[in-house]
Amino acid sequence: MNSISLFGERLREERERLGLSQATAGAAAGVSREMWGKYERGAMPGGEVLLCLAKSDFDMAYLFTGQRGVSSAPAPALKPDEAALLDNYRHCSVEGKNAVKTTVSCLAQQVTGAKKGRAA
C-alpha cells in the first residue's frame, strides 16, 4: 500500500474516531461528500482542506505518519443523542454556537450549584 492510499485509510479512521459522517466531515473541510469520498479512496487534499481538518480535531500526525499525536486520546463512543447534538452544533452559525456554549455553561453551573447546596 502506498503512502497516499494509507493517508486515505487513516482519514477514514479519523473521521470514524470523531463520529462523523462523510457529509459532516466534508462540510467541516469545506468540500462535498463526494469529494470527501475521493480523499478516503486516495486523492490527496490540498492545504486549505488540511488546515480545516487540523481545526476540526483531526489527528494530523496520525494522518501523515500513522503515529498518534501525544494529545490524541481515543475519543469515547458517543451515544446517539450526543452525536446528534454535536452534529447540530457543528452546523450552527458562530452566533448559534456561542448561544449553545452559554446555555450549556449556565445549565452546568445550576447543576454544580445545586449539588453544592445539598452538601452544605
Please state the domain extents for the chain: 1-75, 78-120
Q: What confidence score (pLDDT) does residue 45 get? A: 95
Are 62 and 10 in contact by the 8 Å Cβ rule? The answer is: yes
Distance of alpha carbon 55 from alpha carbon 20, whole angstroms:
15
pTM of the model: 0.56
Collect all residues with Cβ–Cβ distance below 8 Å to 72 and sequence separation of at least 6. Answer: 59, 61, 62
pLDDT beneath 50: ranges in the chain: 72, 119-120
Distance of alpha carbon 63 from alpha carbon 79, whole angstroms:
26
Q: What confidence score (pLDDT) does residue 119 get? A: 46
57: left (phi over 0), alpha (psi -120 to 50) or beta: left
Total Cβ atoms within 10 A of residue 100: 14
Q: What confidence score (pLDDT) does residue 1 get? A: 58
Q: What confidence score (pLDDT) does residue 116 get? A: 56
Architecture of the domain delimited by 1-75? Orthogonal Bundle (1.10)
